[in-house]
């Protein structure tokens, strides 16, 4: 019998009012049950939100530097337990151990960064247009935050939401993805140990319909922070808009790497391979399009075919493995469907394209690294987010055309260019309409001290991480202190 895990509400670990559980499966070996988790319902959400509401006033009145000390302790605990956390994350999510270690490291980095913000949380002081009058702006917490997080970064993304929310004085109800609840439980256990008071952090597991929707719709939730698919994000937006509720959306991408004719091809190859097949292509920042100058197309494709065919697949706990499984069978079938679409559209399949069922991969949700050439920018495989290890190679005649191809997308998350020409690099920075642009690096690899997010269909204008991440979880208040001893009428006097 697999181990059972509970919800965390008001400082206590407890079973769901539903009395039901669901199983968490290892995607590298579907016969292995990682654990049983609570299949929660509306009653559990009501209790969690009530706990967050009860704790919120006391928490916001806790000095921000004291809140930061707790986050610093959380960072220390995450660092101490990094290997164990990464190992269990690989078991439930599938990506290789080095990558899950990076996932946990992002949590550590965010803990230390947010802890430091406890002694800043800066507003502004500005001059008044009137004498004997002082003007400033300060940040106020929004109140109760619902954090709804995906399975591809099952610890990093929750901390991108929780830690800025907590340092700003909010309380939180976390609803993790049903495919990766163990990492969320492990995170909350360490936050409990770090000393956060009861009700400040609450965790409720379950499905989107039975937990996510009631949480979004709850009248006492002040802000919904969501990361996931564009389809689900649009539903979150609809629900929040009807209730005049703040919401932050981080959704899809169709990210591209431009390889110019003067690029270091070996460096570009490494960046494209990492961007396309790291995390098995299951990143919102994954490189799913590579736009290659026709002058170097053949040489680059030859290098790409050779390396992609040599990538080793298997259980991510094996240090020799370079790419793990997809998250579940449904996702694997979706990727296969897109491969079939690419073939039907006339693209040339040159690497992979099918399930990977050899040797120790037979019981997992493995899919071969896949590369298409002769892809035109309007093909579905070049326009729609696949969220798997499928790369489309698109030819271009020069920088202007390449930028046009990148911009021909409903998404605007990440982009990259490989070139030795500084003029080309700065033109790319100026004209690529994405929230992130890399020069001579891959489309993946964000650092937490800079804003993360995108344009167009990637989100609704908010950013995570950096100081911009604090903006999501705070309201601005403008303060005027008049010490003139009389009524002064701005713009009139």
Indicate the CATH number of 7-251+459-478 among 3.20.20.60, 3.40.50.720, 3.40.605.10, 3.40.640.10.
3.40.605.10
Q: What is the mean pLDDT of residues 186-202?
A: 98
N residues, the chain: 493
Q: What is the mean pLDDT of residues 459-479?
A: 96
For residues 294 and 450, is the Cβ–Cβ distance under 8 A? Answer: no
Long-range contacts for 448-453 (Cβ within 8 Å, ≥24 apart)? 448/106, 448/109, 448/110, 448/113, 448/160, 449/113, 452/160, 452/250, 453/250, 453/413
Q: What is the mean pLDDT of the chain?
A: 97
pLDDT confidence of residue 330: 97
DSSP 361: G
pLDDT confidence of residue 492: 85
Per CATH, which fold does 255-439 belong to?
Answer: Aldehyde Dehydrogenase; Chain A, domain 2 (3.40.309)
Mapped onto helix, strand or coil, the DSSP state of residue 251 is coil
User: pLDDT tens-digit profile of 313-363?
Assistant: 999 999 999 999 999 999 999 999 999 999 999 999 999 999 998 888 999
Closest C-alpha among 109, 134, 424, 369 to residue 259: 424
Residue in 88, 92, 107, 284 annotated catalytic: 284
**What residues have CB less than 8 Å from 362, skipping those under 6 apart?**
none
The confidence band for 493, taking pLDDT boundaries of 50, 70 and 90, is confident
pLDDT confidence of residue 295: 98
Residue 155 backbone phi and psi in degrees, to 5: -120, -40
Residue in 47, 88, 250, 464 annotated catalytic: 250
Q: Is the sign of the CA dihedral 424, 430, 431, 433 positive or negative?
A: positive
The confidence band for 474, taking pLDDT boundaries of 50, 70 and 90, is very high
DSSP 459: B
- Decide if pLDDT at 10 tops 70: yes
Least confident of 76-85, 113-122, 354-363: 354-363
For residues 271 and 428, is the Cβ–Cβ distance under 8 A? Answer: no
Residue 284 appears among annotated catalytic residues: yes
| Alpha-carbon dihedral angle through residues 463, 468, 471, 472, given to the nearest 10 degrees | 20
Domain boundaries, given as residue ranges, for the chain = 7-251+459-478, 255-439
pLDDT confidence of residue 1: 66
10 Å Cβ neighbour count for 489? 7
Q: What is the mean pLDDT of residues 141-161?
A: 98
For residues 394 and 379, is the Cβ–Cβ distance under 8 A? Answer: no
pTM: 0.96
**What residues have CB less than 8 Å from 318, skipping those under 6 apart?**
none
Closest C-alpha among 116, 83, 86 to residue 99: 86
Q: What are the strands, taking DSSP E only, across 163-233?
A: 171-175, 201-203, 223-227
The confidence band for 475, taking pLDDT boundaries of 50, 70 and 90, is very high
Which bin fits 314, alpha (ψ -120 to 50), beta or left (φ > 0)? left
Q: What is the mean pLDDT of residues 256-285?
A: 98
User: pLDDT tens-digit profile of 400-442?
Assistant: 999 999 999 999 999 999 999 999 999 999 999 999 999 999 9
Closest C-alpha among 18, 130, 118, 103 to residue 68: 118
What whole-number percentage of the chain has pLDDT above 70? 100
For residues 239 and 229, is the Cβ–Cβ distance under 8 A? Answer: no
């Amino acid at each position: 019998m697999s181990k059972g895990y509970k919800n965390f509400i008001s400082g206590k670990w407890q079973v769901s009012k539903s009395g039901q559980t669901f199983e968490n499966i290892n995607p590298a070996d579907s016969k292995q049950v990682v654990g049983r988790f609570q299949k929660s319902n509306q009653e559990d959400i009501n209790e969690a939100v009530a706990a967050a509401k009860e704790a919120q006033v006391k928490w916001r009145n806790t000095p921000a530097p004291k809140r930061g000390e707790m986050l610093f302790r959380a960072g220390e605990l995450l660092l101490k337990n990094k290997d164990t956390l990464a190992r269990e994350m690989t078991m439930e999510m599938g990506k290789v151990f080095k990558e899950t270690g990076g996932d946990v490291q992002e949590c550590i980095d965010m803990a230390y960064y947010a802890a430091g913000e406890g002694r800043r949380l800066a507003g502004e002081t500005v001059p008044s247009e009137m004498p004997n009058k002082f003007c400033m702006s300060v940040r106020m917490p929004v109140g109760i935050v619902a954090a709804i997080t995906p399975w591809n970064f099952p610890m990093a993304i929750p901390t991108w939401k929780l830690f800025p929310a907590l340092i700003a004085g909010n309380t939180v109800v976390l609803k993790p993805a049903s495919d990766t609840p163990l990492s969320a439980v492990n995170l909350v256990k360490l936050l409990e140990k770090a000393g956060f008071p009861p009700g400040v952090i609450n965790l409720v597991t379950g499905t989107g319909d039975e937990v996510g929707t009631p949480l979004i719709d709850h009248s006492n939730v002040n802000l919904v922070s969501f990361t996931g698919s564009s389809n689900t994000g649009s539903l979150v937006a609809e629900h929040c808009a009807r209730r005049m509720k703040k919401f932050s959306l981080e959704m899809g991408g169709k990210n591209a790497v431009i390889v110019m004719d003067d690029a270091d091809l070996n460096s570009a190859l490494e960046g494209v391979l990492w961007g396309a097949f790291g995390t098995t292509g299951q990143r919102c920042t994954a490189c799913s399009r590579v736009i290659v100058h026709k002058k170097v197309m053949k040489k680059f494709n030859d290098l790409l075919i050779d390396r992609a065919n040599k990538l080793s697949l298997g259980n991510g706990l094996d240090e020799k493995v370079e790419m793990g499984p997809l998250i579940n069978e449904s996702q694997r079938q979706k990727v296969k469907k897109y491969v079939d679409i690419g073939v039907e559209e006339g693209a040339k399949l040159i690497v992979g394209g099918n399930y990977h069922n050899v040797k120790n991969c037979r019981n997992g949700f493995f899919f071969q690294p896949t590369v298409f050439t002769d892809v035109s920018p309007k093909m579905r495989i070049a326009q729609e987010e696949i969220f798997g290890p499928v790369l489309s190679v698109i030819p271009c005649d020069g920088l202007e055309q390449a930028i046009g191809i990148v911009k021909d997308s409903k998404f605007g998350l990440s982009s990259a260019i490989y070139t030795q020409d500084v003029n080309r690099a700065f033109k790319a920075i100026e004209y690529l309409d994405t929230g992130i642009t890399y020069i001579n690096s891959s489309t993946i690899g964000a650092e937490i001290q800079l804003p993360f997010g995108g344009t167009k269909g990637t989100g609704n204008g908010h950013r995570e991480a950096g100081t911009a991440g604090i903006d999501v979880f705070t309201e601005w208040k403008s303060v005027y202190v008049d010490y003139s001893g009389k009524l002064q009428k701005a713009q009139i006097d």
